[in-house]
């Protein structure tokens, strides 16, 4: 009996890797994703460059960022930040009035010292507002009496915001009513003074050319309270006019 020879079937070799034939779907997605990111980056870079160029043109070659200038890109500001805030006594502050060209020009308001050296035509020697430099003249900023009120003393300044009463109207009020009215007026007036001070302090703090460098220390008040200057007294509002304006707004 003849034996059947088992037919030899050649062993199948390993299947060719699909990776050698074509990229996997994941790789294809990654390739597409990488390409799209590059496209987005190109578009963003193009927009940024175009914006900077347009800003440089529109601002007359002054800024690539539409007038925005971070504080750390200004060398004097960066140096002061590294060195820390200055603490100057009034006698020391008086040296920074522009007379000594080796020193910056400082002025102070509400105890905060600001460097205004970037505008020497205004604050330097011979400038219109040179009298503000080298001192804290907060009172003058509020009253507008630049020559008389070059001091930080704000006592009595609220009087310029207190309305003037008509004599005939005062006669209709009792002494108690007059006192209450005056106290109310004084509270409102003091708030107006603080609002004015904050306005000027923020003006210098937020200015693109000026910057805060420190504080004035050792400020003292004189024994006698200053009288309100004539120009400030003339600015006092009349109560009758205020009431008329209030009625018109209500209508």
Q: What is the pLDDT of residue 1?
A: 46
Q: What is the pLDDT of residue 73?
A: 57
Query: Which token pair is 244?
Result: 């008329």
CA 242 to chain centre: 32
Listed in sequence order, the DSSP H helices in 118-174 are 120-123, 138-143, 167-171
Query: Which token pair is 38?
Result: 């590059």
Q: What is the pLDDT of residue 22?
A: 54
In the chain the first and final C-alpha atoms are separated, in Å, by: 128
Residue 58: count of CB within 10 angstroms of its CB: 12
Residue ranges of the chain with pLDDT lower than 50? 1, 3-4, 19-20, 71
Closest C-alpha among 17, 35, 207 to residue 117: 207
Q: Which residue is associated with the tokens 């200038």?
A: 69
Closest C-alpha among 147, 170, 180, 142 to residue 158: 142
């Amino acid at each position: 009996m003849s034996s059947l020879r088992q037919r030899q079937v050649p062993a199948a070799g390993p299947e060719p890797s699909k990776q050698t034939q074509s990229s996997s779907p994941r790789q294809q997605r990654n390739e597409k994703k990488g390409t799209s990111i590059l496209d987005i980056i190109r578009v963003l870079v193009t927009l940024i460059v175009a914006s900077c160029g347009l800003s440089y043109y529109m601002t007359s070659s002054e800024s690539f960022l539409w007038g925005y200038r971070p504080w750390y890109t200004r060398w004097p500001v960066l140096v002061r930040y590294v060195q820390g805030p200055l603490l100057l006594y009034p006698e020391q502050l008086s040296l920074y009035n522009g007379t000594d060209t080796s020193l910056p020009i400082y002025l102070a308001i509400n105890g905060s010292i600001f460097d205004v050296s970037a505008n020497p035509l205004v604050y330097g020697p011979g400038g219109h507002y040179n009298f503000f430099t080298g001192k804290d003249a907060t009172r003058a900023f509020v009253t507008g009496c630049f020559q008389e009120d070059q001091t930080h003393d704000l006592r009595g300044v609220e009087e310029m915001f207190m309305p003037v009463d008509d004599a005939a109207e005062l006669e209709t009020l009792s002494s108690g009513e007059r006192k209450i009215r005056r106290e109310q007026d004084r509270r409102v007036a003091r708030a107006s003074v603080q609002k004015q001070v904050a306005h000027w302090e923020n003006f210098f703090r937020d200015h693109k050319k000026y910057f805060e460098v420190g504080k004035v220390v050792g400020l003292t008040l004189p024994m006698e309270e200053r009288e309100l200057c004539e120009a400030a007294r003339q600015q006092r509002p009349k109560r009758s006019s205020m009431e008329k304006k209030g009625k018109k707004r209500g209508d």
